[in-house]
Structure 1
Amino acid sequence: MVDMDLVNRIVEKMKSENVRWIDIHFVDVPGRLQHVTFPARELLDDPESAFQIAIGGFDGSSITDFTMINESDMLLRPVPETFALIPDDWQSPPGVAAGRTARMIAQIFWGGYKKGEAPRFEKDPRYIAEKAEQYLAEQGYKAYFGPEVEFTIFDSLKVDVTQPWARMSVEINSREAPWNTELPIMRFKQGYFPANPNDKLFWIRQEISNVLEDYFDLQVEAHHHEVAGAGQGEIDFRFDTATRAADKVITLKYVVKNVAAKYGMVATFMPKPIYADNGNGMHTHQSLWDIKTDKNLFYDPNDEYAELSQLARYYIGGILKHARALSAIVNPTTSSYKRLVPGYEAPIYIAWSKGNRSAIIRVPSYMKGIEKAARIEYRSPDPSTNPYLAFAAMVAAGLDGIKKKIEPPDPVDENIYAMDPKKRRELEEIVKKQLGTKLQLPSSLCEALEELENDYEWLFPIFSKEMIETWLELKWEECRKIGAYPHPVEYYEYFDI
């Protein structure tokens, strides 16, 4: 049910701020942000209908992998909790009177039904995250997610692939880059936590954080420079439920890109924008809580290893067992697998540990004895994923582990990258025996898609078969298309062979 008290407050806010336009946001299946803008009067004249039925419609057949041309009419219902004013100083060029604008994220419904009877669109990514929360509630749980979203801001980026048979090029300009001649610079893999003036993008992250807090009511917990040299940053926000946390990821990406654009810069969330430096990840902290008692079900003060409950271990077991298939959703681009390689802190081994960052699941252990802090950190996801689908898939894998009581192997507390080969082979045998999977994550998107094709039943309580098939078809097309392009490095390596 819609909170009409909140709706009334939004109406008053729009009137007091002289809001003229409503920008409605949603994401397509891959996770790219889409928007359509309506006059504020469409909401102000009949707010009850706008929030309980729809504010307007659109052509679903023109959105990637939504629907066919013969069933294309769809409706947008704004979610009042996502209301925010857009800053005036980056919504339009200087001297252009664009009008005060507010933003809301929408739920998507099928068109062609009587007023108030339209069903939800099954492939709306936000709907799938909502279904994950509903499925959790049916089991007596609620889940919280706290993603650490990494990104890179360049001064400029030029890409030319308009003539792939004759010319392909990428030119990156960054004031921090090791190849920049203006000191100080950031050396490869040495960008973690440097103080000003070395951290040349402190001011832009600060403004992004201010906008997130002041305009979008998103509570920032920290921001900092990340390990990669050329403009890599991270902004962490307070944990939330699956749908709301995904809303926040989408909002953060929107704000980062627009604030960067305000200064003539460009932001990217692609997993591996620069060779020989760390990529952009989205380590995702998560925990399960009892929906009635509000107790953290991952916490066990009597567990000597990590104060982690047996239920949490089963949840870990589910993610580890399905990790190779899960990669096709949480690492959904060919760029993802250029990040998931040894030597750059991105985990590739299907293992868990109390503090070992070479395992895909880490149990943070900064301080003991705090129930609300008990959680796991799933380290392989990256920000190229659709967060609604990613969090929903994590829930499905974790709950499958709980349902089937999948016991994970013993934790691995040593650096798996540096492990003796014989010992690593022994670990691989243990993982294969207990979980029925390989020790290492897929090394390519194509390999991950093959895993998902053979291991997807655990998604069914939340994902429809149609959605899984749509995802596989979309990503197979990407994998084959990008894999067919000759790469400039191939000329360097093989031209004289």
Structure 2
Amino acid sequence: MNMIEANDIKMIDFKIVDINGQYRHVTIPVQQFSADTLTSGIGFDASNYGYAVVEKSDMVFIPDLDTAIVDPFCEIPTLSVTGNAMVIDYPENRPLDQYPRNIVQAAERYMKETGVADTMLILPEFEFHLFDSVGWAVQPNSISMSLDVSQAPWNSAVEGKGCVIPHQKAYHVAKPFDRTYECRSEMCLEMEKAGIPIKYHHPEVGASGQFEIEPMLGEMSKMADATMMIKYIIHNTALKYGKTATLMPKPVYGEAGNGMHVHMLLLKNGEPVFSDDNGYSHLSRTAHYFIGGLLKHISSLCAITNPSTNSFKRLVPGFEAPVTVGYATSNRSAVIRIPAYAKKPTMRRFELRNPDATCNPYLCYAAILMAGLDGIKNQIDPHENGWGPYDVNLYSLSDEEKSKLQALPTSLDAALDALEADHDYLTAGGVFPEQLLQNFISIKRQECLELSAIPHPAEFARYYNL
């Protein structure tokens, strides 16, 4: 109420997350907001959000006031709040176990019950593109996509100012080539206002408007909320500057794609669980077991961490994207990379490099934790299983050597096959409901089927005149 009064708030906006990890929202006038709202909640139809519930689909959304911020993109003063979905029950409502925010909190509770750790800290890296324009058409007589950004190499003959960037040479380029510096700085300032500390932002490798914003390490459930807000801020600030933003994994053919690498570490009573000066790359046996769990379940994880058909157009050799199931120090060609610069015991960690921002962050982070905990529980040693460490450039190996390596799935269909066959680690402790996984797989299968039926422009180039 103090925030409402201090900022002359007129509307309260409740942001709800659907199964795909996209914001939906419902707004009430401020005079309708009261203490009763925190218990009675706001009604919504869960079936329209992708949740196949056995109960009646009418649910209530209970706001979490710790997430309240003044929305910087609303002309009418608006307080933005997220929270949890509840099943209407008597005498008290109960959490909807399929709701992503409830799942990530259940995963944290399960972690504490195992006694392994009480806190998981994560740091997702947000890679994205800023374009001047974009358009697409999927019609019976027109299947096309076009985009443009002034500094891209294809504009070298028409860009009057000469500030174009050579192909794949944009990493950390400065002004005048960095055309969107102010836009990204404003994004970061808005994230800081929203309570999300930012480490830095910079141009990425892709010359056609690719950039990165990296926050500081944060607790997993809070970082899931922050991930939603970071994406919201990126998209809306881009529009304010006359740009369009996408975190799509592979929007530009032949350029680097957008990942969402996830750094992670565990703490128990404030002490690092992953640090050991006697271990490989200064990581403890527990850390190696966690890595083992991730690598064992990586194919099924991909269905949740890379849940779009476009995701697998990024996971190809040659663009610093991982294709090999393995781990190593300072090696971007392996799916798990241990950063050599993380020297302090409290910062020793590793990153999972396959995820991208088409994922539902709540499901993604919870699934990563559950896979790692399964590795600890079953003492899955990554070295004994032949997953490394690979301290060589895996892209440069001979075909014979590459044939010996285990690879990531090459399609969403293959990842969904793996999830159907391997998901007991997710349902452990009742964290992921079986029904949610079945519905998620069904929705994604339908996506694959629909997209596979659409002719592709590249097919015209290859087959039209045969």
- State, as a whole percentage, how many aligned pairs show the same letter: 36
- Which consecutive residues of structure 1, in runs of 5 or more, have no partner in the other structure? 1-10, 93-98, 429-438
Q: Runs ≥4 in structure 1, deviation > 6 angstroms?
A: none
| 1:476 and 2:453 correspond | no
Query: How do residues 192-231 of structure 1 correspond to structure 2 at under 5 angstroms?
Result: 192-214=171-193, 216-231=194-209
Contact 1:143 1:242 in 2 (8 A): yes
Deviates further, 54-63 or 247-256: 54-63
- For normalisation by structure 2, the TM-score amounts to 0.95
1:187 counterpart (166, 175, 180): 166
Q: Secondary structure at the match of 1:22?
A: strand
In 2, are the aligned partners of 1:243 and 1:388 still within 8 Å (CA)? yes
Matches within 5 A, 1:413-452: 413-426=391-404, 428=405, 439-452=406-419
Q: Which residue of 17, 20, 26 corresponds with 1:27? A: 17
Q: What residue identity is the alignment partner of 1:194?
A: V
The alignment partner of 2:390 has SS state of coil
1:107 to 63, 78, 84: 84
CA distance in 1 between counterparts of 2:203 and 2:52 reads 37
| Corresponding residue for residue 31 of structure 2 | 41
Work out the CA distance in 1 between the residues paired with 2:114 and 2:148.
50
Measure the CA separation in 1 of the matches of 2:63 and 2:10. Answer: 16
- Is contact 1:354–1:363 with CA below 8 Å preserved after alignment? yes
The letter of the residue matching 2:422 is D
Which deviations, in whole Å up to 9, do the C-alpha atoms of 1:307-328 show, x marking residues without a partner? Answer: 1000000000000011111111
- For structure 2, list consecutive stretches of 5 or more residues without a partner in the other structure: none
Does the 8 Å CA contact 1:29/1:66 hold for their aligned counterparts? Answer: no
Matched position secondary structure for 1:417: helix
Q: CA deviation at 1:424?
A: 3.0
Match of residue 212, structure 2, among 234, 251, 256: 234
Q: Give the AA of the match of 1:479.
A: C
Tell me if structure 2 keeps the 8 A contact 1:31–1:386: yes
2:347 is matched with which residue: 367, 373, 382?
Answer: 373
Alpha-carbon deviation of 1:251? 0.2
Tell me the residue number matched to 1:83. 68
Give a deviation string over 1:237-281, Cα, whole Å, max 9, x none: 111122111111100000111111112321111110000001110
Over aligned residues, Cα RMSD in angstroms? 1.4
Distance 2:416 2:260 in 1: 20
Q: Does residue 456 in structure 1 map to residue 423 in structure 2? A: yes
Q: CA deviation at 1:58?
A: 1.4
2:376 alignment partner in structure 1: 402
Once the two structures are superposed, the pairs formed by residues 51-450 of structure 1 within 5 Å of their partners are 51=38, 53-67=39-53, 71-87=56-72, 90-92=73-75, 99-111=76-88, 113-114=89-90, 117-140=92-115, 141=117, 142-161=119-138, 163=139, 165-180=140-155, 181-182=158-159, 183-214=162-193, 216-290=194-268, 293-303=269-279, 305-368=280-343, 370-409=344-383, 410-426=388-404, 428=405, 439-450=406-417
Q: Secondary structure at the match of 1:71?
A: coil
Shift of residue 302 of structure 1?
Answer: 2.4
Distance 1:66 1:82, change over 3 A: farther
Aligned length: 454
Superposed CA deviations along residues 159-186 of structure 1, whole A, max 9, x for unmatched, are 111x2x2111112021222222212112
Q: Is the 8 A contact 2:52 2:435 kept in 1?
A: no
Bigger Cα displacement from structure 2, 187-196 vs 392-401: 187-196
Indicate the SS of the match to 1:160.
strand
Q: In structure 2, which of residues 429, 435, 453 is the aligned counterpart of residue 466 of structure 1?
A: 435
Distance 1:66 1:232, change over 3 A: farther
In 2, the alpha carbon distance for the partners of 1:390 and 1:448 equals: 14
- Give the Cα–Cα distance (whole angstroms) in 2 for the partners of residues 205 and 54 of structure 1: 39
State the alpha-carbon separation in 2 of the partners of residues 109 and 209 from structure 1: 33
Is the CA contact (8 Å cut-off) linking 1:28 and 1:66 kept in structure 2? no
Question: Which has the larger displacement, 102-111 or 394-403?
Answer: 102-111
| Partner SS state of residue 109, structure 2 | helix
SS at match of 1:209: helix
Partner of 1:490: 459
Equivalent residue for 1:5?
A: none
